[in-house]
Structure 1
Amino acid sequence: MGKTNNLILDNLLEIEKRAKEIILRDLEDSQNEAYNPFYNLWKNQNREEHENVMIEELKINIEKYWLAEKYNSAIDKSFNMIYFEHGGLYGGELEAFAIDFDDSDRKLSEFEIDDDHMEYLDNISCLPAFVSPTLYHLTENIQGEEDNFDDFLDVNNIYELFEATALIEINKLFKRANQENVFERLNLKKPFYLAVAEHDTGAPKLIYVIE
C-alpha cells in the first residue's frame, strides 16, 4: 500500500497547491487587507509541532475512550475503517467512527469514499480522536471576521487552504501512528482505511491505508 499512500499524499499536496494559488490571486486582485492576516497565519503554522501534538492526543484518547468499556462495549469487534469527522470552518476537533467498509470495488486511483459503502458500527461511535491545530487556529481567528471579506466565497477559499494543509498533516499523523503501532490494540481488518471529512459535506476523503 506504499504506492497508494504516496498517491494519496501527492493528491493532497496538489489540492493544497491549487488552494494556495487561489488565495494568492485573491491577495493580488483585492485591495481588502482582511486576507493578509489569514494567509500569514497559514504560512506560519508549525507543522512538525502539530504532528507531535496530534499523535499524543490520539494516543491518550484511544486509551481513555476507544479502549474503555464505558464508551466501547465491543472492543474486540473487528472493522476495516475509522472515519474521522471535523466541524469545518468552526471546529478543529475530530471525532472517530468505526466503519465496516465494503472495499470490494474500490479503485486505488479514487481518493473519495462512497458513503453508501460505509456501515457505521457501535463500538467506536463519535468518540474524541484529536484536534487539528491548523483548523483550530483558523476557527479561533475567523469568528467575527467574516464580514470583513469581499464575499463569503473568499472566506471559503481561506478555509479550503487551511483544510488542505490540515489533511496533509493528518496524513503524516496516520503514517506515524502506524509506525508507532498506535492502533495495535484495536481489532483491525487489513487493508485498513483512515478517512476524514467535514460533518455533512459528502464523501469522506481517503487519507491513509494500513496494509
Structure 2
Amino acid sequence: MRNKIILDQLRAKEKQMEQLVCDRIEQTGNSIQKEFYQRWKDHNRNESIETMFYDLRQNVVDYWLNEKYTKGSTTAFNLLYLEQDGLYGGEFTSFAIDFRYPSKKLPQFEILDDRFHYIENRSNLPTCVIPLLDVLTQEIQGKEYDFEDWDDVMDMYALFEVTAYIDTHHTLLLAHQEQLFQSLPIQKPFYLAVGEHDAGEPQLIYVIE
C-alpha cells in the first residue's frame, strides 16, 4: 500500500510535468523542445528497468558486498540514499544511512537532515546507470541555449527525472522480489530515497516492510 502511494505520487507529477512541457511547446513552437519531448515519448521503460536492475545486481556484488570497499562493515542501516548529478549526471551512487525515525508514517526528508547518520565504508558506492537521464545528459550538451529560456530546460529535465524515478521504483520492486538486499545488514522498514546532489531534500522512492 505504501509503495502504491509513492508510485501514484510519481505518476501524478509525471502527468503534471508532461502537460507543462506540452503547453510550453505549443506556445513557443521551439524545435529543440519538440525534439527532446519526442525522445522522452520514445523512452522504452521496460528496457530501462532491465538495464538498471542488471547494473544494480552487478554492483551489489562488486561493491556493496566487497570487503575491499566496505572494510567488512556489519553496521545495520535502514535507509539507502541514491544520489544522481542532475542535468549532467546519468547514474546513481549510494549512501547507507542510519535514519533515526521512530514513526510508522511515511517519512518526509529535509535538506541537511539531522536524522541522517551516514555509515562509514558504505557511502558513495556505484549503484546503477539511469538510462533516461544518461540519454538526456549526452544529448542536451550544447543544445541548452537553443531552448527558449532556461526554465524550459529545467522543465524538460524535471519531466525526464520523474520518469527516471518511476523506472527506479520499478527497478527496486524487482530487486526486492529477487531479494537483492538480503545479504546486506538492513533493518526494516527499509527506506530507499533518491535525490539530486546539492539540490533539495531526498525523495522517498520505495519501502521494504
**Structure 1-normalised TM-score?**
0.95
**AA matched with 2:176:** N
In the alignment, residue 9 of structure 2 is paired with which amino acid?
Answer: N
Q: In the alignment, what sits opposite 1:68?
A: 66
Equivalent position of 1:210 in the other structure: 208
Q: Which moved more, 1:66-75 or 1:165-174?
A: 66-75
Separation (CA, whole Å) in 1 of partners of 2:119 and 2:73: 11
Given that 1:75 and 1:186 are in contact with CA atoms closer than 8 Å, whether structure 2 keeps it comes out as no
What corresponds to 2:43 in structure 1? 45
Q: Secondary structure at the match of 2:66?
A: coil
Please say if residues 109 and 203 of structure 2, whose CA atoms lie closer than 8 Å, have aligned partners that are also in contact. Answer: yes
- The amino acid of 1:58's aligned partner reads L
Give the 5 Å matches for 1:91-170. 91-105=89-103, 107-108=105-106, 112-114=108-110, 115-170=113-168
> What are structure 1's unaligned runs of at least 5 residues?
none
**Does structure 2 conserve the Cα–Cα contact (< 8 Å) formed by 1:80 and 1:100?**
yes
Cα offsets for 1:142-188 (capped at 9, x unmatched): 10001101110100000000000000000001111000001111011
- 1:195 paired residue number: 193
Q: 2:172 aligns with which of 171, 174, 195?
A: 174
**Equivalent AA in structure 2 for residue 9 of structure 1:** L
Q: 1:42–1:162: 8 Å Cα contact kept in structure 2?
A: yes
Distance 1:116 1:162 in 2: 30
* Cα-Cα RMSD: 1.1
Query: Percent identity of the aligned residues?
Result: 44
Letter in 1 for 2:128: F
Match of 1:89 among 80, 87, 90: 87
Alpha-carbon offset, residue 106 of structure 1: 6.3
Q: Report the 3-state secondary structure (helix = DSSP H, G, I; strand = E; otherwise coil) of the residue aligned with 2:19.
A: helix
Query: Structure 2 length normalisation: TM-score?
Result: 0.96
In the other structure, the counterpart of 1:29 is 27
Using the TM superposition, give the Cα deviation of residue 76 of structure 1 relative to its aligned residue in structure 2, in angstroms: 1.9
Residues in 1 aligned to 2:98 and 2:72: alpha-carbon distance in whole angstroms: 14
Name the SS for the 1:98 alignment partner: strand
Deviation at 1:123, TM superposition (A): 2.9
Q: Supply the AA of the counterpart residue of 2:184.
A: L
Q: Which amino acid aligns with 2:199?
A: T
Indicate if the aligned counterparts of 1:82 and 1:99 stay in contact, CA closer than 8 A. Answer: yes
Contact 2:75 2:119 in 1 (8 A): no
SS of residue matched to 2:199? coil
Distance 1:42 1:67 in 2: 35
Question: Does the 8 Å CA contact 1:77/1:123 hold for their aligned counterparts?
Answer: no
Q: Look up the equivalent residue of 1:181 and give its one-letter code.
A: Q
Runs of 4+ in 1 over 3 A off after TM superposition: none
Q: Residue 189 of structure 1 aligns to which amino acid in structure 2?
A: Q
> Which whole-Å CA distance do the structure 2 matches of 1:10 and 1:81 have between them?
21
Contact 1:195/1:207 (8 A) holds in 2: yes
- Output the CA distance in 2 between the equivalents of 1:106 and 1:38: 40
